[in-house]
Structure 1
Amino acid sequence: MIVAVASSFVLLLSCFGNTDAAACGQRSYDPTFQSCCNGVINSKGSNEACCGTTPYNSTFQICCNDVLSSKGSNEACCGTTPYNSTFQICCNEVLSFKGSNGSCCGTTPYNSTFQICCNGVLSSKGSNGSCCGTTPYNSTGHICCNEVLSSKGSNGSCCGTTPYNSTFDICCNGVVSFKGSDGACCGTKLYNPTLQICCNDVLRYKGSNEACCGTKLYYPSFHICCNGVISSKGSN
């Protein structure tokens, strides 16, 4: 505690004696002639930037992940390596000749006009603009359901790996059924809510019964349901 107070007092005195002084960690320095790089004071010279704890001149050098290199015509970094993005491309820290490539597929550069990258796998593009897993496809004629590719036809929705037309069919927990006049699911079954009621995935005919108690039906007017047990309401 005493050492910390003493250090702060010395820093205060140093700064008080020099109106241009600034703090660099627990020490004072003159920004006109010195640089502070992550708590380390160095002579400034023509340097105006820091690379880790080392000052440097960004006109002649480049800092890539705290590694200093001569700049030359390089203006970008690939990991710790400087490069010229006009002629090279960096894909996941792997440098390659750029050519006509402007995109990356993993560590491989490619031209997205002629190729497509699907989950790290490069393929010829052709008319394909979408991916189904690692397979490219044309979404006009095909549909991808959970990485399973199928002909599209009139289908525009997926039920698990099965394509279906939601105008005519319905998907109930992975099972496709003809919709008809029914419009609701009870587990994997289809039902008409006007005539039936679904109690915990068990279908019951509704009749005058209007509520579920677990998987059973009861009359709320005359009975009470507590934790799946039906009891007479009485005067309660």
Structure 2
Amino acid sequence: MAWLVELSADAKRGMRIDTDFEKFNGDDELAAAASISLQLKMPLNREMKDALPKTYRMLSERKTPLEQFVAGRFGWAISQTFKDMIDDFEPQVGLNQPEKNQFVPITLLRKNREPTGVPFYYWNCLNKVDAIIEEKSDVQWRRFETYTGEPRYLLEFRTAPSIYAAPPTIYVDKSRISGRHVWWGDEHFSNRLFFSDEMKNNAESSGFKRFDYFHVIEI
């Protein structure tokens, strides 16, 4: 059994961090390339990892660190607890095998710039797959134009997944996600996170409370 994972409405409020300076230095070509790769979940080399900003500040006044999963300028940052869970379920097998996940350590400060003392990492998940069966699922193609005016088409859910309304029916190709426990969409739904049943159960038993889960039908 698989699950689409969405941040809960509460989690989306006040769970953002940003670089600890006024403006990201976009003139740094290597850092810019690294930030784009991180957003697109493309592999980062050592130079790219080194070029990313390493200090981030919470944008809310919360007195405690922001749970396990926070939104940053370049993607998602996760706690040590969340990283350990990913490592347990999706371990790297063999030095010559493609990486499944990359983690870039960052320093997280409170809004007043006091250290939180909590290890966090930018998470670059390279475990990506398009498994949604379009003709059976509640999805549609949306046309949009790039900044050059060129038409593009994006596959999206007909209705946004929500606990307050009937969620979309989602079918996935079981053979494409076999053996996976945590993955993102690839060309389609690249901003959607999916868990296996085992990963979901472990997250819930570990006290991860800021996720909403939507059942995905495997065929």
With the shorter chain as reference, the TM-score category is under 0.3
Whichever structure has more strand as a proportion of its residues is 1
TM-score normalized by structure 2?
Answer: 0.15
TM-score normalized by structure 1?
Answer: 0.15
Greater C-alpha radius of gyration: 1
Whichever structure has more helix as a proportion of its residues is 2
